[in-house]
Amino acid sequence: MSNALLELVNIEAGYGVFRVLHNVSFKVCEGEVVALVGPNGAGKTTALKTVMGLTSLFKGDIKFNGSKINNVPPYERVKQGIVLVPEGRGIFAPLTVLENLYVGAYNEEARRRLSESLEMVFSIFPKLKERKNQIAGTLSGGESQMLAIGRALMSRPRILLLDEPSLGLAPKIVSELFEIFKKLNEEWKTTLLLVEQHVKNSLEISHRAYVMESGRIVLEGESSEVLKDERLRKAYLII
């Protein structure tokens, strides 16, 4: 396997003086889909925020593309290509779908590749093309999520961090979304770090996975192997 694009080494991090993550290590290689799964309150969002530089970092190292980024401010990390689609989406409701996508292409490189990126986003999400002139605030839950991801893709991220993209969506839309993640990775070579509570779906489409509980990584490996783990199957009622 190739070298890590993103790597967290023995991370202790949290909020203020409160530690949430305990000795957390994980990596994502270029071209991989890595799933980070675990129950509510395990520290999954905190792990993503730590990658972005939005938590207190007490110990350990965060490396991106071979360099330590512990002290790199969040906006610089975004500039380097680390892009987070946060829980709850956060699209601009009064703007149209197309305007929202344009907003995503804010950096110079992204602006240069705007039409190519738009074509890519529309090929992955044909629904957004159909609805490009619709006001974003009137989209369905699934469509809003697609727009949030589409907007993030417009900035041409080197790694896309997705925080529970399927939250609150109907089962049919959830399966659709997971298929899209697979396609995004296979056809467009997008590197993904996927935080999810849909454990089975996540393990089925990812290459490797980490299971987090109470701020610690308790299980890790090839997703197909993790999926066979008896404790995991019991804990998440996978039959």
Residues that bind ligand ATP (CB under 6 A): 15, 18, 20, 38, 40-46, 197
Judge contact between 149 and 165, C-beta under 8 A. yes
Least gap, CB of 183 to ligand ATP (angstroms): 25
Residue indicated by tokens 């610690």: 216
Residue (of 98, 65, 69) closest to 11 by Cα position: 69
Applying CB under 5 A, among 26, 32, 45, 145 the residue interacting with Mg ion is 45
Judge contact between 147 and 118, C-beta under 8 A. no
Is the Cβ of residue 41 or residue 126 nearer to ligand ATP in the bound state? Answer: 41
13 SS3 class = strand
Is the Cβ of residue 45 or residue 145 nearer to ligand ATP in the bound state? Answer: 45
Burial of 115 (0-12, 13-18, 19+ CB in 10 A): exposed
Least gap, CB of 206 to Mg ion (angstroms): 17
Distance, CA of 200 to CA of 78 (rounded, Å): 30
Least gap, CB of 88 to ligand ATP (angstroms): 10
Is the Cβ of residue 38 or residue 104 nearer to ligand ATP in the bound state? Answer: 38
Is the Cβ of residue 15 or residue 106 nearer to ligand ATP in the bound state? Answer: 15
Positions in the binding site for Mg ion (CB under 5 A): 45
